[in-house]
């Protein structure tokens, strides 16, 4: 049994506080094993896994096992004997109750095994515990490395809200993985040789009649006028789209331009590279506003020029993964047989990787890229530093010339690869995964994870607010899909600007005497919190129908609500500091005073304990979010935690509390809560302002 008091002093106070902390995950694991062992020894039943759940109310305990039902079923199957689940639960109860950290066990309902932790012991032991203890491993070279690809916006225009969903999802997931101890490499794939870039190049060359120098001049004019290159390209791209509809000649130019870009080493390719690179810079700047960063920008041009595909092609041919079609409508193509199918209807063909003209499809290139990510291609990119973030962190970009040796960090070769790509690309992603698994069966399909998510669409009202004319038919639709080609979408920077402006107006009212810089900083933190939380509170497979009112809201379930809760928590400790008190004092008081049980058995006991136990569940919530590839789980938890803290804050006047023991408990619990909240928000990429 964990105990407090004299024993703690024998071992030294700090050692006690730091080393005997048993997390909920650990307690849970011990209990699971105990249940399995008890089922074996008392009933001769082998349980493979035991489901543990959180009871609906604190009065029902801290952990529940609905295991007696399953046990009854298994006993009946084995012996034919019908047992009452409640009686089975009573037997298990006796076995589990002796475990340290468990105060008592109750059999409830039809046979639930409800576990009550030893509250005083738990609190004393976890008062100083790190809410995310594994996070430190994320910088440990011996930790397993994973790669996360996200953002990957075509570098021909500004990013819109749909791209931001991708990036926020990817960035948050990356933070979640790090919180579980994984080493993470973040890649933002740059499709700098695709049709979308070609389209904008066509616009510059044949609509605007500009050469590269003219574009550079334009770029400078734009920045002098406070405008951005990616916004200019956004409009130009839309104009090209309109022009294509009536101008066949221009459309033919596209094929020509695309060819030149792919080939490289010509003026058009140089111009395209300038356009693409400038757009990448703009998009990276936009994402930096949202605290989203990258390690490497792999480019399609290098996949072409370094012949990644050729290497993958050889491997696939040798292993018989792909087949050359000699007849039928796919004659002359290399295809990958996909799924069992009968017939040869239009929708039942194999996936073509190499066209009859010998060129490789996007999916083919993607397989080669995925092989590189997994470290099994047998080729590597060349690299150069692209830029440094203000804090010195480097971002690298790929290049194809090997003339100069550059010392660079190792890239690629991840144990698991997460690709954050919207659900519309599930089919090609499936092919990539299967193709890669065919080449490397030992790694298999599990090594490639498609982190898919539904699109962000516009409500008809939002589309009209952006100035788009809708037909009566469109107005009746549940949502309107955004389209870069049509120039229809909410640009990321516009939305962030509006959020910052709204937040600033409010900060001006609340803190008129604060320096302007600081006010802008707070407004920025609020804007980022609002946008990130807005995109994260939806689960991945929910279509977000964008609505300005909802997205700009600072009320209810928002990032701001969570931030505000943390700010209020911090103000308690600021006040304490003004009285020369620290959390450490309270922690020591806790151990020294011993009789915490009284506090928990008082009227407010359940209330205080609920706060403590909820805040202690961050680690398992993060694990769960990582396991299920679902950041929304963490977002929801964070909101619940903030709400619980607001209630706690409302019900207990901590600084004014006169009962010494209770006050120490309240301080320690408030501290656990604010650290959990701060860490949860940090994992969501949301900062806590100094004041709000």
Partner RNA sequence: GGUCCCGUAGCUCAGUUGGAUAGAGCGUUCGCCUCCUAAGUGAAAGGCCGGUGGUUCGAAUCCACCCGGGAUCACCA
Eight-class DSSP state of 387 = E
556 scored as a contact of RNA (CB under 7 A): yes
Smallest gap from Cβ 425 to RNA, in A, equals 5
Eight-class DSSP state of 205 = I
Nearest to RNA of 158, 336 (CB atom): 336
Nearest to RNA of 447, 522 (CB atom): 522
Interface stretch with RNA, choices 200-208, 223-231, 355-363, 375-383 (CB under 7 A): 355-363
156 scored as a contact of RNA (CB under 7 A): no
Taking alpha carbons only, the member of 295, 4, 318 closest to residue 174 is 295
Smallest gap from Cβ 13 to RNA, in A, equals 26
Smallest gap from Cβ 391 to RNA, in A, equals 26
535 scored as a contact of RNA (CB under 7 A): no
- Judge whether 562 and 533 are in contact, CB under 8 Å: yes
Using CA atoms, how far apart are residues 192 and 348, in angstroms rounded to an integer? 31
The contacts of residue 441 (CB under 8 Å, 6+ apart) are none
Angle of helix 631-651 relative to helix 618-627, nearest 10 degrees? Answer: 160
Query: Footprint of RNA on residues 71-110 (CB under 7 A)?
Result: 73, 108-110
**Contact residue for RNA among 58, 349, 440, 514 (CB under 7 A):** 349
Task: Order the strands of the 145-149 sheet from edge to edge.
Answer: 382-388, 394-399, 296-297, 183-187, 145-149, 416-422, 448-453
With 0-12 / 13-18 / 19 or more C-beta atoms within 10 angstroms meaning exposed / middle / buried, residue 502 is: middle
Interface stretch with RNA, choices 174-182, 211-219, 224-232, 326-334 (CB under 7 A): 326-334
**Contact residue for RNA among 7, 220, 329, 388 (CB under 7 A):** 329
Per-residue contact flags (x/-) with RNA for residues 285 to 314, judged by CB under 7 A: ---------------x--------------
β-partners of residue 148 are 186, 418
Alpha-carbon distance values, 440 to 309, 314, 315, 367, 614 (Å): 16, 14, 10, 12, 43
223 scored as a contact of RNA (CB under 7 A): no
518 scored as a contact of RNA (CB under 7 A): no
Smallest gap from Cβ 136 to RNA, in A, equals 26
Interface stretch with RNA, choices 39-47, 59-67, 159-167, 283-291 (CB under 7 A): 59-67
625 scored as a contact of RNA (CB under 7 A): no
Query: Footprint of RNA on residues 359-378 (CB under 7 A)?
Result: 361-363
Smallest gap from Cβ 575 to RNA, in A, equals 4
Nearest to RNA of 17, 612 (CB atom): 612
β-partners of residue 456 are 544
32 scored as a contact of RNA (CB under 7 A): no
Nearest to RNA of 402, 555 (CB atom): 555
28 scored as a contact of RNA (CB under 7 A): no
**Contact residue for RNA among 424, 497, 577, 595 (CB under 7 A):** 424
**Contact residue for RNA among 126, 196, 228, 268 (CB under 7 A):** 196
Interface stretch with RNA, choices 121-129, 191-199, 304-312, 466-474 (CB under 7 A): 191-199
Contacts 24+ apart (CB under 8 A), 330-339: 330/356, 331/356, 332/356, 336/431, 336/434, 336/435, 338/431, 338/434
Using CA atoms, how far apart are residues 109 and 107, in angstroms rounded to an integer? 7
Number of residues that bind RNA (CB under 7 A): 99
DSSP helix/strand/coil, 395 = strand
Taking alpha carbons only, the member of 39, 112, 300 closest to residue 195 is 300
Query: Footprint of RNA on residues 565-594 (CB under 7 A)?
Result: 567-568, 571-572, 574-575
Nearest to RNA of 553, 606 (CB atom): 553
How many helices (DSSP H) and strands (DSSP E) are in the chain?
A: 28, 16
With 0-12 / 13-18 / 19 or more C-beta atoms within 10 angstroms meaning exposed / middle / buried, residue 158 is: buried
465 scored as a contact of RNA (CB under 7 A): no
Q: How many CB atoms lie within 10 A of CB 288?
A: 13
Nearest to RNA of 20, 483 (CB atom): 483
114 scored as a contact of RNA (CB under 7 A): yes
Eight-class DSSP state of 548 = H
Eight-class DSSP state of 451 = E
Query: Footprint of RNA on residues 468-507 (CB under 7 A)?
Result: 477-478, 481, 503, 506-507
Smallest gap from Cβ 82 to RNA, in A, equals 9
Alpha-carbon distance values, 684 to 180, 182, 291, 534 (Å): 14, 16, 10, 11
Nearest to RNA of 393, 475 (CB atom): 475
């Amino acid at each position: 049994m964990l105990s407090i008091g004299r024993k703690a002093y024998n071992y030294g106070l700090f050692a006690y506080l730091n080393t005997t902390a048993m997390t909920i995950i650990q307690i849970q694991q011990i209990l699971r094993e105990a249940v399995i062992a008890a089922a074996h020894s008392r009933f001769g039943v082998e349980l493979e896994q035991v489901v543990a759940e959180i009871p609906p109310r604190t009065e029902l305990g801290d952990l529940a096992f609905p295991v007696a039902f399953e046990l009854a079923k298994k006993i009946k199957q084995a012996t034919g004997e019908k047992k009452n689940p409640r009686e089975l639960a009573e037997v298990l109860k006796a076995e589990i109750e002796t475990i340290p950290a468990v105060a008592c066990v109750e059999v409830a309902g039809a046979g639930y095994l409800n576990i009550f932790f030893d509250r005083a012991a738990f609190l004393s032991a976890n008062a100083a515990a790190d809410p995310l203890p594994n996070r430190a491993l994320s910088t440990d070279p011996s930790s397993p490395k994973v790669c996360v690809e996200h953002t990957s916006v075509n570098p021909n225009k500004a990013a819109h809200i749909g791209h931001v969903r991708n990036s926020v999802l990817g960035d948050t997931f990356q933070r979640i993985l790090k919180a579980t101890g994984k080493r993470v490499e973040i890649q933002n794939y740059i499709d700098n040789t695709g049709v979308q870039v070609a389209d904008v190049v066509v616009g510059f060359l044949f609509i605007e009649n500009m050469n590269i120098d003219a574009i550079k001049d334009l770029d400078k004019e734009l920045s002098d006028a406070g405008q951005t290159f990616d916004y200019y390209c956004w409009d130009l791209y839309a104009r090209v789209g309109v022009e294509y509809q009536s101008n066949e000649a221009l459309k033919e130019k596209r094929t020509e331009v695309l060819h030149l870009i792919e080939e490289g080493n010509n003026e058009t390719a140089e111009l395209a590279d300038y356009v693409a690179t400038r757009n990448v810079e703009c998009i990276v700047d936009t994402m930096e506003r949202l605290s989203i960063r990258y390690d490497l920008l792999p480019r399609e041009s290098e996949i072409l020029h370094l012949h990644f595909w050729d290497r993958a092609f050889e491997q696939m041919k040798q292993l018989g993964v792909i087949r050359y079609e000699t007849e039928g409508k796919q004659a002359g193509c290399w295809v990958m047989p996909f799924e069992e199918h009968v017939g040869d209807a239009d929708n039942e063909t194999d996936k073509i990787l190499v066209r009859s003209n010998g060129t490789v499809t996007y999916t083919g290139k993607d397989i080669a890229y995925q092989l590189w990510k997994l470290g099994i291609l047998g080729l590597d990119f060349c690299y150069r530093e692209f830029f440094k973030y203000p804090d010195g962190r480097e971002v690298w970009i790929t290049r194809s010339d090997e003339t100069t040796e550059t010392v660079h960090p190792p890239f690629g070769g991840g144990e698991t690869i997460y690709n954050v790509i919207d659900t519309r690309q599930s089919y090609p992603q499936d092919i990539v995964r299967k193709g890669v698994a065919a080449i490397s069966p030992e790694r298999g399909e599990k090594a490639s994870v498609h982190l898919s998510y539904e699109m962000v669409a516009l409500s008809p009202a939002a589309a009209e607010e952006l100035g788009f004319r809708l037909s009566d038919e469109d107005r009746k639709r549940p949502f309107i899909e955004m389209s870069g080609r049509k120039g229809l979408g909410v640009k990321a920077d516009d939305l962030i600007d509006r959020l910052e402006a709204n937040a600033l107006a409010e900060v001006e009212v609340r803190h008129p005497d604060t320096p302007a810089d600081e006010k802008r900083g707070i407004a920025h933190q609020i804007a980022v919190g609002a946008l990130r939380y807005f995109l994260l509170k939806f689960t991945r497979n929910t279509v977000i129908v964008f609505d300005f009112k909802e997205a700009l809201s600072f009320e209810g379930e928002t990032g701001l609500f969570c931030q505000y809760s943390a700010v209020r928590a911090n103000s308690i400790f600021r006040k304490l500091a003004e009285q020369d008190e620290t959390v450490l004092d309270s922690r020591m008081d806790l151990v020294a005073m011993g009789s915490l049980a009284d506090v928990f058995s008082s009227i407010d006991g359940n209330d205080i304990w609920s706060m403590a136990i909820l805040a202690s569940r961050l680690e398992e919530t993060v694990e769960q979010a990582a396991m299920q590839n679902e950041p929304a789980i963490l977002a929801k938890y964070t909101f619940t935690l903030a709400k619980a803290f607001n209630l706690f804050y409302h019900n207990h006047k901590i600084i004014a509390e006169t009962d010494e023991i209770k006050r120490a408990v309240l301080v320690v619990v408030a501290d656990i809560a604010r650290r959990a909240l701060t860490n949860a928000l940090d994992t969501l990429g949301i900062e806590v302002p100094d004041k709000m």
